[in-house]
Amino acid sequence: YRNIADTLWDTNVPPSRENLFKALSILHKGLDYLNQPYVWDLAQGNVYLKFRRFNILNDVAHVYSLLREKDSTIKTLSTMLDIGGYNFNNIEKDTAFDFIRSEKDFKELFADMHRKKARWTDDFLKTPYRNDLPLNEKIAGLSLLWSQAKYNFVHFDHANIDWNKEYLDYLNLIAQTKSTAEYYKILIKFYASLKDGHTNVYFPKELDDSFYSRPPFRTELIEGRVFVNDIYNDTLKKVGIEKGLEILLINGEPVLEYAKNYIEPFQSSSTPQDMDVRKFTYALLAGSKDEPLIIKFRNKEGKEWTQSVPRKGYSIIKTIPSIEYKEINNIGYLQLNAFDDQIIDKIYDSLFSKISKTKALIIDLRRNGGGSSGIGFHILSTLTDTPYAISLSRVTQYNSSDFGDAQWYSFSPEKEYPSKKMYYAKPVILLISARTFSAAEDFVVAFSYMKRGKLIGETTGGSTGQPLLFDLPGGGTARVCAKDDYFPDGRKFIGFGITPDIFIHKSVKDFYSNYDAALMKALELLR
C-alpha cells in the first residue's frame, strides 16, 4: 500500500489534490489491514510489524501536511507518538510540518514526546565528573542500575539473589563513600553480584589511570599456578620479565589470595572458567599508574626474586592481530583472535584462495573475546553450502497490567546463508577455550549445531547476548545484558559454557616446553 501511494504523493513535482486524496485512501486501506484484531495482536509482540503502522502513519501525516489539513496532521502525529519507542527527532525537524510548527498543539505534542523519551534515556542523570558526587546523585546512579536490571536483565535465574534486598543493602554502602572513586567501586561490586559477563559498570574516564593501568604483559592460570604468558613490550625482557616466569607473590601476598581478595569482587562473570580468565589474565595486574607492583617471580630453574614493576611508562605496546594465518603441512591454521573490526572480513576473503587449496582447516578462537557476530557469520558462510541456524534468543517484556510480571518474548528462529562466491567443503576443526566469549561463542554455537567439525580445547566463557548501554552520574557508564541466547534446539550455554568434543587442558609441562596440545590433537585428527 505504501509503495502504491508513494507514486501519487512523493513526487518531484507538486501532486494534485486529487492524487493526494487517492493516496490517503490507499494508505487507510493499509491501516485497516493492520487494525484487524489478529494482526494488531501480532504487532504487540513484534517490533517490526508494529513499525509498519508507524511508517504508514508517517506517510499519512505527510499527505495531510501537503493538503494543509492542520488538525488531521497533528492528530496523525499524535497517533504515531502513542505507538512509542521510536525516534521523533527527524519528524520534529521535517520541513513538511513547518506550516504548523508555531501551533500550540504541535508544540505540546513534541513537548510530550520529549518527556516520554526522557523517562527512558536518563539524559538528566548524565552529570559531570567531580571528585566526590553529592549523595543525591550517588543514590540516583545506584537506583538507575537497579531499575535497568530489574526491567531488562535476562539472567536472574543465574544470579540467584534477591535484587530488591541487594539494592537496599547497597544504599547503605554508597552513603558511606567519601569519593567518586569509592562510589564507583561499590557500583561495580553491585553489578558483579548479578554474575553475568555482559553486565558491567565502568569508571569515568577521569579515573582510568587510577584503576585500569597495567604493565604490558599478561598472565595465565595453569594447573593452579600463575605464569607470565604474553609480552607486549621488548623493554620488559631487559629487566628480566619474560614468558614462562611464575608469579608467586603480588605486593607481599600469595598470588591466588591477592586475586581472590582484590580482583574477584569487582569482576562480572557468568562462569567459574570466565572468572579465572578475568582474575588471572585480564585484571590481575590492573591498578593505579602511580603504584608499581611488587612481584615475586620464579623461573623454570627454580630461581626466585622480587622486583618492582611499573604499571605505566612503556613507550611501544605491541598488539595481537585480530586475524592470522599460516599453513602446517598443507593444513590451514586460521587464528581469529577478535571480531572487532570489519576489515577482518576483507582479510579473510583475501586469504580464501590460499585456504581453499589446503586439505583441511583449523580455526582457533582460543583468544577471541568477541566483537561483532556478523564477522563470524561471514566466515561461517564460506564453510557450508546450505543455510544454517544461529542462536535462538529472547527478551523480557514488562506488562504493568499483568500483576507486574515480566513475560518472555522469543524471536523467530533465524538463519544465515552460504556465501555465493566462496565454499570450503574440506574438514574443519575448531579450537576453543575459556577466553572464547560473546560473539565468538555465537560462532561456536552455529558451527557446532551445523555439525561442521569437532570442537577441541576447553569449555567456553559462557556469556553472550545484547547489552543495553547507559550513562551514570559522574561520567561513568554501564551495561546490562538484555537478550538471552541459546542453541537452536533450546540447549542452554549461558552460565555454563560450550563444552568441547575433546577436552585438552593446558598443563605446566606443555607450557614450559611451548607445546600446544590442542593444536597438535587437531593436526593428528586431520592427518
> Which residues in the chain come in under a pLDDT of 50?
none
Q: What is the identity of the amino acid at 388?
A: Y
**pTM (2 decimals)?**
0.87
Interval 330-359: pLDDT, tens: 999 999 999 999 999 999 999 999 999 999
Q: What is the identity of the amino acid at 61?
A: A
> Computed from CA positions of residues 200, 203, 205, 210, in that sequence, does the dihedral angle turn out positive or negative?
negative
Neighbouring CB atoms inside 10 A of 144's CB total 18
Question: Phi-psi category of 223—alpha, beta or left, where left has phi over 0 and alpha has psi -120 to 50?
Answer: left
Please tell me the distance from the alpha carbon of residue 59 to that of residue 55, in angstroms, as a whole number.
6
Interval 153-193: pLDDT, tens: 999 999 999 999 999 999 999 999 999 999 999 999 999 99
| pLDDT recorded at residue 325 | 98
Q: Are 213 and 287 in contact (CB under 8 A)?
A: yes
Q: Are 98 and 149 in contact (CB under 8 A)?
A: no
Residue-wise DSSP of 442-460 = HHHHHHHHTT-S-EEES--
Q: Where are the alpha helices (DSSP H) in 12-69?
A: 17-34, 37-44, 47-66
| pLDDT recorded at residue 113 | 83
Residue-wise DSSP of 328-396 = ETTEEEEEE--B--THHHHHHHHHHHHHTTSSEEEEE-TT---B-HHHHHHHHTTS-SS-EE--EEEEE
Q: In DSSP terms, which residues pair with 328 in a beta bridge?
A: 331
Please tell me the distance from the alpha carbon of residue 79 to that of residue 365, in angstroms, as a whole number.
49
Residue-wise DSSP of 127-168 = PPP-SS--HHHHHHHHHHHHHHHHHH-S-HHHH-S-HHHHHH
**CB < 8 Å & 24+ apart, contacts of 173-177:** 174/138, 174/139, 174/142, 175/135, 175/138, 177/138
Please tell me the distance from the alpha carbon of residue 361 to that of residue 335, in angstroms, as a whole number.
11
Q: Which of 262, 212, 219, 221 is nearest to 241 (CA)?
A: 219
Give a three-class secondary structure readout of 281-339.
Answer: HHCCCCECCCCCEEEEEECCCCCEEEEEECCCCCCCCCCCCCEEEEEECCEEEEEECCE
Q: What is the identity of the amino acid at 113?
A: M
Query: End-to-end CA distance of the chain, in Å?
Result: 59
| pLDDT recorded at residue 117 | 78
Neighbouring CB atoms inside 10 A of 199's CB total 30
CB neighbour burial string for 347-384, b if at least 16 within 10 angstroms, e if fewer: ebeeebeebeebebbbbbbbbbbbbbbebbbbbbbbbb
